[in-house]
Chains A and B, each alone.
Chain A
Amino acid sequence: MSLQSLLSIQGVSRSFGQTQALQNVSVDFSEGVNGILGPNGAGKTTLFRVLTGVLQPSSGDVFWQGKEIKDRRWKQAFQRQVGYLPQDPGWFEGFTVKQLCHYFAGLRQVPRGVRAQRIEHAIDSVGLSEQAGTSLKALSGGQRRRAFIAQTLIHDPSILVLDEPTSGLDPVQRVQIRELVATLGRERVVLLSTHLVEDIAQTARNIVILDSGRLVWAGAPEELSRLGGHRGNANDSVTTAYERGFLAMLEETSNV
């Protein structure tokens, strides 16, 4: 664990019956956007559930500010600092954007004096001010995803965990979410999972590649680009090089 890392996991494994969803994964996360790349079934969602305290790891530990979050009080303090967007957040369809934020502000005990201001700020941050009174049912997929991101911001967390926020969105909506994540990553630790390299190519400070529950590679985006053999000309975009690097890593793992 490096001294700069705010959040890290050490030797985390998690199994569901015979299925090993995570196998001895150790990785550090620091401020800025941390991209978790991996194909479907790589263990990204399980990793996020372990990180947010939804699931207990079968073995290994999660550390926040250098201290294990097994300790209940510390876990509570940690969870107060986390904003989590699961892949499918579920049953809030009857809520408007504002009601959703208000509900979570109440649950998280955002002080009443600043609650209205925080809600307004969160909705504004995700660019949904004009849709604040709109029911979630009536929003597009991208807008709904942004509404749930607003919910994660309501208590001004220092860690944001976003599980495939771009999944199922059209290209325009994906660009909007990417830009939003880049903005959010300027002030906090953002963990973003995706199976698309382009989602994190431009914004991530660190990239972690998972496959079949194992950590395949972790490092800076430039390193991944180098691994992909970036040729530095106009016909060979950085994203393409990232993708080649990503695929090379997956191929290497499967050969092993």
Chain B
Amino acid sequence: MSKLLPWGGLVASLGACLAMLLPVDDGTQNSFLCSLAVMLHAAIVIFPLLAGVASIDATFMNRGRSRFLLEALPSSARLRAASGRVGWISLAGCAGILLACVVAGTLAVSNGSRFSWGVWPFLLLACVGIVSATCIGWAIGAIAKSWFIPPLIIIVTYGGAAANISYVQLPSAALSALWTPTPALLHFPLPLIGWTLGLHVLLALVGVTGWLVWCQLTKQRILLLVTALFLTIGCAASMVNGWLGISGAVVANDTSDWICAPLASGAQVCLPPERPQDLPDLVIQLESVNTRALQLDPGLASRTWRGIDSPAGTSLVYELPLGQSPTLSQHAGAAAASLFIGCVLDALDKEDEDLLDMYAEAQVIVATWLDPEANGKFIDIEGNVYFITFADAQDAYRKSIQC
């Protein structure tokens, strides 16, 4: 049992990652971006599982028959025994997440995704988090010595990790920022990383301190506690700083440095300067969507295709090539959304649900028309098939102008 538990750490982290990675079915499927997203989301599951595995190990070790043998050891020896257990479980957990990343990367490369080093800072954070979660789980398990504790730790840590990730909206913000690190997108990855790192280090300190208390380590205890106190203050400061950075962050609209290319049918496509290699593909893809957009309204030729929403009425938004190339359907959906964004916000302000429904329906009709591969065919969630004519699309488009 004691030899099996570290393997439990590997199975937990690898399993959680793959369970989230393999069923993904969207535009970023099997891309490096997807693997990054999965790693970040998996933290919600991996941290609690690892904390739980560690607490089971500690409970097992401190309730089992061997406890008398271990408790008769000097505290420094008990600390080494505990360190060994925590070390093995952490190592197994980190190996699991790295193995999952290799699987994700292999899938990504085989699907033609571009490689990105952007995944590594977050993998490092995930590994720091795994170590801290293991420390905490082990320390609590060793102190409490109750079989009620492991499930309780899993539940509480899950709640904490989920709240943390949803609070900072880590995946969506970090993904865009890391893949296309342009100031025009999200410009708070650094405070975000600082916030998360601060949290991880703080958790690790809490765990290690609890563990030292359990071991009743007397030698240099005061020095350790003072060091822990200073580090805690430092972490708290970095978290506050990060929080201020996140709360004050605004998506910038400055796209003046973007690189652009004209479309044969009119209008132009612009892209963040960090990713010029995406431009030729985008021009080819957007040519057909743009042609259909201009059939609806030749005036749209004055707009520029951009990957983010710029001041109203100047942009047609396309789907940023995050990882794999987006489909024409995704470009058409993003463009239709950018045409209706003003109307939808207006309806939301008025809290008029009928109006909102009307714009939603119109937006779907326009998106279906703009997608050259759909040929006007739209299937709703109940499986009903509709054919959108040019006249339908024009009527729907007019609603976006009228608001």
Q: Which A positions have Cβ atoms within 8 angstroms of B?
A: 49, 52-54, 72-73, 76, 79-80, 82, 84-86, 88-92, 94, 106-109, 161
* Contact present for B68 and A49 (CB under 8 Å): yes
Residue in chain B with minimal CB distance to A86: B68
Question: With the chains together, A164 CA to B65 CA distance in Å?
Answer: 15
Given A72-B218, A76-B74, A90 contacting B65 (CB threshold 8 A) = yes
On whether the beta carbons of B72 and A89 are closer than 8 Å, the reply is: no
B2 pairs with A80, CB closer than 8 A: no
Residues of B with C-beta under 8 A to A82: 72
Asked if B377 is an interface residue, CB under 8 A from chain A, the answer is no
Asked whether any CB of chain A lies closer than 8 Å to the CB of B76, the reply is yes
Contacts of B73 in A (CB 8 A): 79, 107-108
A103 → chain B, closest Cβ, in Å? Answer: 9
Q: Is the CB of B218 within 8 A of A73?
A: yes
Select which of A52, A54, A76, A161 is within 8 A of B76 by beta carbon: A76
Complex interface: chain B residues within 8 A of A94 (CB): 2-3
Interface residues on B, range: 20 to 34
For residue A95, which residue of chain B has the nearest CB? B3
Which residues in B have their C-beta under 8 angstroms from that of A53?
71-72
A54→B68 contact, CB < 8 A? yes
B61: chain A residues within 8 A (beta carbon): 91
New contact pairs (10) apart from A84-B69, A88-B65, CB-CB < 8 Å: A53-B72, A79-B74, A80-B74, A85-B69, A91-B66, A94-B3, A106-B80, A107-B80, A109-B77, A161-B72
For B401, list chain A residues within 8 Å (CB): none
Report the 8 A-B pairs with minimum CB-CB distance, sorted nearest first.
Answer: A90-B66, A90-B65, A52-B72, A84-B72, A86-B68, A107-B77, A79-B74, A54-B71
Q: How far is the CA of A19 from the CA of B172 in the complex (A)?
A: 61
Which residues of B (62-87) have their CB < 8 Å from a CB of A? Answer: 64-69, 71-78, 80-81
| Contact yes or no, A89 B80, CB < 8 A | no
User: How many angstroms from the CA of A72 to the CA of B64 in the assembled complex?
Assistant: 25
Closest to B71 in A: A54
Interface status of B385 (Cβ within 8 A of chain A): no
Asked if A109 contacts B3 (CB within 8 A), the reply is no
The distance from the CB of A200 to the nearest CB of chain B, in whole angstroms, is 22
Q: Which of A85, A91, A107 contacts B64 (CB 8 A)?
A: A91
Question: B1 contacts the other chain (Cβ, under 8 Å)?
Answer: yes
Contact of B65 among A73, A85, A91, A106 (CB under 8 A): A91
The answer to whether A89 touches B81 (Cβ under 8 A) is no
Complexed CA–CA distance, A107 and B80 (Å): 6
Q: Is the CB of B77 within 8 A of A108?
A: yes
Instruction: Let me know if B227 is at the binding interface, CB within 8 A.
Output: no
Nearest A residue to B74 by beta-carbon distance?
A79
A109 contacts B76, C-beta separation under 8 Å:
yes
CB distance from B220 to the nearest CB of A (A): 12
Decide if B389 is an interface residue (CB 8 Å cutoff). no
Contact residues in A for B218 (Cβ distance below 8 Å): 72-73, 76
Which residues on A sit within 8 Å (CB–CB) of B69? 84-86, 89-90
Assembly CA distance A54 to B80 (angstroms): 17
A92 to chain B, nearest CB (A): 7
C-alpha gap A80/B80 in the complex (Å):
14
CB of B169 closer than 8 Å to a CB of A: no
CA distance A108 to B78 in the complex (A): 9
26 pairs, A vs B, C-beta closer than 8 Å: A49-B68, A72-B216, A73-B218, A76-B74, A76-B76, A76-B219, A80-B74, A84-B68, A85-B69, A86-B68, A86-B69, A89-B66, A89-B68, A90-B66, A90-B67, A90-B69, A91-B2, A91-B61, A91-B65, A92-B66, A107-B77, A107-B78, A107-B81, A108-B73, A108-B74, A108-B77
Q: How far is the CA of A85 from the CA of B66 in the complex (A)?
A: 10
Docked CA distance A86–B166 (Å)? 50
A92 neighbours in B (Cβ, 8 Å)? 66
Please, how many angstroms separate the alpha-carbon atoms of A53 and B65 in the complex? 16
Chain B residues in 8 Å Cβ range of A80:
74
CA distance A30 to B52 in the complex (A): 47
Distance, CA A96 to CA B260, complexed state (A)? 69
Please, which residues of chain A bring their CB within 8 A of the CB of B77? 107-109
Docked Cα-Cα span, A91 to B76, in Å, equals: 21
Bound together, the chains give a CA A41 to CA B64 distance in angstroms of 21
